[in-house]
Amino acid sequence: MSTLQNGSLIKAFALLDLISDQQPEITAAIVARDLDMSPATAHRYLATLDALGILSAQHRGVYGLGHRIIHLGQIAERTNPLKKLVLPIIERLSLSLGESVMAGRPAPVGIVCMATASAPRPISVHIQVGRQLGLTSSAQGKVWLAHQPASTLATLDDMTDALRQDLQRIRVQGFARNCGEAEPDIGAVAVPVINGSGEVALTLSVFGMISRFSDNRIEVMVAGLTEAASEVATALPDV
């Protein structure tokens, strides 16, 4: 027997998912349009979340994230056990390769940066913890997609024959690369962290200026990432 779920709670989190770097504020009109609600219902959800401190009214009818959810996010970042497990490993790899390294966690919205180690360089590329990376435009997203069943891939709106072939190649070779598709002039190489159930639990990636991502360097990066991914996988708790 499946566990019953609270529909109102699901809708509340769907509402929160409407807030992003590109859309930091929402209104009842946006919620009603994107979640197929009546304006009155959308306003009721916004007012309730505002009263709880989950949202905050920036000005009349316009809402952004509130103090309570920001506080919870800070606690989650400080206490995340996976981050504590992964961070020393990616810091060693970053120091060894001289490039920035990221650990990402798959989520419905894409790959979310869970931990990052900046390159030991005077000028380096950095990514913020919590940043979301696209599934089809990033090395991290592609390496996750390459290990997903056909039923999951069939739900992607931007799936093409070229992408499908690319994913097959990534699965065989064990890593994905990005040559400026997500961000101009930024390259990345990513490998999966496979848990005991054979699923991609995390992704590890090296990223930096494309000029430093020659074929020889990528070979070295993949070797380092693969070793680090094996270390992380061994330390992952059983779930």
CATH number of 7-71: 1.10.10.10
232: part of which helix (H) or strand (E)? helix 215-235
What is the residue whose two structure tokens read 């007012």?
47
The model's pLDDT over 98-147, given as tens digits with 9 standing for 90+, comes to 999 999 998 876 898 889 999 888 777 778 887 888 888 899 999 999 99
pLDDT at 239: 47
Name the more confident of 229 and 3: 229
The answer regarding whether domain 80-235 maps to CATH 2.60.40.2480 reads: no
Which phi and psi angles does 54 have, rounded to 5°?
A: -75, -40
Question: pTM here?
Answer: 0.72
- Asked if the domains 7-71 and 80-235 are classified in one and the same CATH topology, the answer is no
Which phi and psi angles does 170 have, rounded to 5°?
A: -65, -45
- Binning pLDDT at 50, 70 and 90, where does residue 2 land? low
Could you give the CA distance from residue 195 to residue 60 in angstroms, rounded to a whole number?
47
The model's pLDDT over 59-112, given as tens digits with 9 standing for 90+, comes to 889 999 999 988 887 777 676 777 788 999 999 999 999 999 999 998 876 898
Domain ranges of the chain: 7-71, 80-235
pLDDT at 1: 45
Percentage of the chain lying above the pLDDT 70 cut: 95
Q: CA gyration radius for the chain?
A: 20
